[in-house]
Amino acid sequence: MRRGVLSTTGSLIVAVVLLLAVNILAATALGGFRVDMTQNHLYTLSDGSRAVLGKLDEPITLNLFFSQKALRDVPQIQAYAARVKALLGEYVAQSHGKVQLKVIDPEPFSDAEDRAVQFGLRGLPVGGPGGENAYFGLAATNSTDGEEVIPFLSPSSEDTLEYDLTRLIYKLGQGKRPVVAVISSLPVNGSIVPMTQQQAPPWAVIEQLRELFDVRVLATFEKKIPDDVDLLILIHPKDLSPATQFAIDQFALRKGRVLALLDPYSDVEAPPRDPIMPTMTMPKTPSDLGPLLGAWGIDMPPDKVIADREAARMVSFSEEAPAQEYLVWLDLQAPHFDRKDVVTSRLTQMYMNTVGALSKKDGASVEFTPLIVSSRQSMPVSAEGLDKPDPEGLLREFKSADRSYTFAARVQGTLKTAFPDGPPEGAEVPAQVLKESAVPANLIVVADADFIYDRFWAQVQQMRGSRMVQPFADNGAFFINAVDNLTGSGDLISVRSQGTYARPFTVVQAMNRVAQEQFRAAEQRLQAELEQTEQKLAELQAARGDQDGPLLSAEQQQEIARFQAERVRLRRELREVQHNLRRDIERLETRLKFINIALVPLLIGFAAVLVGVTRGRGRRSSGERHVAS
């Protein structure tokens, strides 16, 4: 017995010594070695972040202001601050000495607080006798007095944390910014709100562009694209004069870089006013590039949008109406994106509305690569009447074409001019008029312009004088990715697409879609029987003519009673379908809860028992051998 106790004590001492030795060895020999076991690799920098760090030519200092004492009772911010510090430490470790981190606690009325205020960090009021503020922001500086600031590191922006940090370092480390020109018929650069006569801010994607590029918004009547422009962006171009079209044509042939967002029907665009009767509106018209699209080897029917049964969103256009599938408002998931193209390879979800269809023009010599496509449960529908949404009508008339349609495509190769007969009248003629591409063209064309409108992809909130953009879809990421790629500055692409903003319950959605189909079939059957009964009643009434007697004959009364009974039965069927749907969803929810709450701990417990039993058998075998010896 005594020998067993001594043996156990000796084993514990040896285990403690080994544990200390392993920790000392890890701290000395493996100090920089880390293993990120989180599901989304929250503490591992993406390839794009490492590329940005590898291209730094000058040192950058990251000043993290965090009010440790003032925020110690806010567990959410404390936990997020720990993640921010760990991730910033990874930037320092991967920068090979180019990035330094300083963590500063700006106590009230201290020099550190004055520095935080000078950098423009936002303070959170925490009370106290002097009205103290707490700070949790980042200010970065370089050796040339450049400054970039994140005024407040909000936990709600955790999905985009790495991108925000890498973008901040990228802006401090880059030299001359690429020049991007924008031509649009939509108010992407802000406008005056008619009701309030106040200035509306630019769209969020334009503000994000300005953080990384030199952005110039050109008028739709420009006759020349400036020579220093690196990329031209067209957003729902309309009413362009031949002179403007010629300027775009020559830019595409000279520089070969265009991002065109076209739209057969813009939900964002305000309906045009009737010039004769200003109180009346006229139908919206599609994007129009004149002869340019054909010269680029692309076809897009101007009067068709794509209805996609599989990607349709659940939409309600009034508080009274229940949500139902609207086949032309789409929720596009990972299978819809080209995984081989850097612009779309890491996208997970996009919302697109009333999207057109792109295709390669017959006989075109360009290379046409789809980037975003519909599912095969799709069909083209007329854009006419979309100003009065009719989800039920679209569902009723839907017949799948059993093919997918292209929503966005990359077009590469040699382009021919859209003006083979020479410059049009009124055009500004350059010194050299090009007939074909001077450099291989690289265009990205999208059959939707609304997808970059703020409310279709992000929540934009005002917070203490600044706008906070919280994306719930990858629309903005796709747009900025395309600009990055076409300007040749693609390091941020993989970082920007890191976050997964939504994880939809695809199984529940499929179950709900099946139930909706059953509901619709039952409703159509009820409606058909109602029409048949009313027709029968009309026939019976016409057969009676002007005969005297009761208003309704016995046969009519029997027909009405039969219909009422049938209606009750069909309504019972509808309730049964709804009940079965709810029951199936609850069963799925119960299974998920069991797996997450009970099954995993049971498996861990079973593994522990198994290990214990195995060790017990090993000790008994060892004891038996000892007794035998």
Please state the φ and ψ torsions of residue 34, each to the nearest 5 degrees. -135, 150
Instruction: Give the pair of three-digit tokens for residue 605.
Output: 């417990």
Q: d(Cα 16, Cα 170) in Å, to the nearest integer?
A: 46
Bridging pattern class, strands 441-446 and 312-315: unpaired
With b for 16 or more beta-carbon neighbours within 10 A and e for fewer, the 483-515 pattern comes to bbbbbebbbbbbbbbbbebeeeeeeeeebbeeb
Contact 262, 241 (CB under 8 A): no
Q: d(Cα 201, Cα 130) in Å, to the nearest integer?
A: 35
Please state the φ and ψ torsions of residue 325, each to the nearest 5 degrees. -70, 130
- Measured in whole angstroms, the distance separating CA 90 from the mean position of its chain's CA atoms is 26
pLDDT surpassing 80 at residue 28:
no
Contact 93, 99 (CB under 8 A): no
Q: d(Cα 539, Cα 541) in Å, to the nearest integer?
A: 5
| 625 compared with 399, residue with greater pLDDT | 399
Write down the mean pLDDT value for the chain: 82
Contact 573, 529 (CB under 8 A): no
The string of pLDDT tens digits covering residues 196-239 is 667 788 999 999 999 889 999 999 999 999 999 999 999 999 99
Name the percent of the chain lying above pLDDT 90: 45
The region that residue 474 occupies, defined by phi over 0 for left and psi between -120 and 50 for alpha, beta otherwise, is alpha
Least trusted range by pLDDT, from 85-99, 176-190, 604-618: 604-618
Model pLDDT, residue 624: 55
pLDDT surpassing 60 at residue 442:
yes
Average pLDDT over residues 519-535: 64
Cβ-in-10-Å burial (0-12, 13-18, 19+) of 627 comes to exposed
The string of pLDDT tens digits covering residues 447-504 is 999 999 999 999 887 765 667 788 999 999 999 999 989 997 667 766 765 544 445 5
Contact 369, 341 (CB under 8 A): yes
Instruction: Give the pair of three-digit tokens for residue 390.
Output: 């009719």
Model pLDDT, residue 31: 45
Model pLDDT, residue 164: 86
Residue 413 pLDDT grade (very low, low, confident, very high; cuts 50, 70, 90): very high
Is the sign of the CA dihedral 341, 344, 348, 353 positive or negative? Answer: negative
Q: d(Cα 220, Cα 290) in Å, to the nearest integer?
A: 14
Contact 306, 376 (CB under 8 A): no
Residues in a beta bridge with 129: none
Model pLDDT, residue 37: 45
| 365 compared with 515, residue with greater pLDDT | 365
The string of pLDDT tens digits covering residues 293-322 is 999 999 999 999 999 999 999 888 877 777
Residue 18 pLDDT grade (very low, low, confident, very high; cuts 50, 70, 90): low
Residue 33 pLDDT grade (very low, low, confident, very high; cuts 50, 70, 90): very low
Model pLDDT, residue 585: 62
Contact 416, 367 (CB under 8 A): no
Q: d(Cα 67, Cα 375) in Å, to the nearest integer?
A: 50
Model pLDDT, residue 357: 97
Instruction: Give the pair of three-digit tokens for residue 16.
Output: 């403690």
Cβ-in-10-Å burial (0-12, 13-18, 19+) of 22 comes to exposed
pLDDT surpassing 80 at residue 101:
yes
| 599 compared with 60, residue with greater pLDDT | 60
Model pLDDT, residue 618: 57
Model pLDDT, residue 469: 83
3-state SS string over 41-54? CCCCCCHHHHHHHH
Q: Which value, in Å, is the radius of gyration of the alpha carbons in the chain?
A: 33
Least trusted range by pLDDT, from 49-53, 129-133, 136-140: 129-133
Q: Transcribe 536-567 into DSSP letters.
A: HHHHHHHHHTT--S-SS-HHHHHHHHHHHHHH
Amino acid sitting at position 43: Y
Instruction: Give the pair of three-digit tokens for residue 101.
Output: 């981190």
Model pLDDT, residue 513: 60
Model pLDDT, residue 58: 87
Least trusted range by pLDDT, from 39-53, 73-87, 335-349, 567-581: 567-581
Cα 88–Cα 206–Cα 143 angle in degrees, nearest 5: 40
Q: d(Cα 376, Cα 559) in Å, to the nearest integer?
A: 45
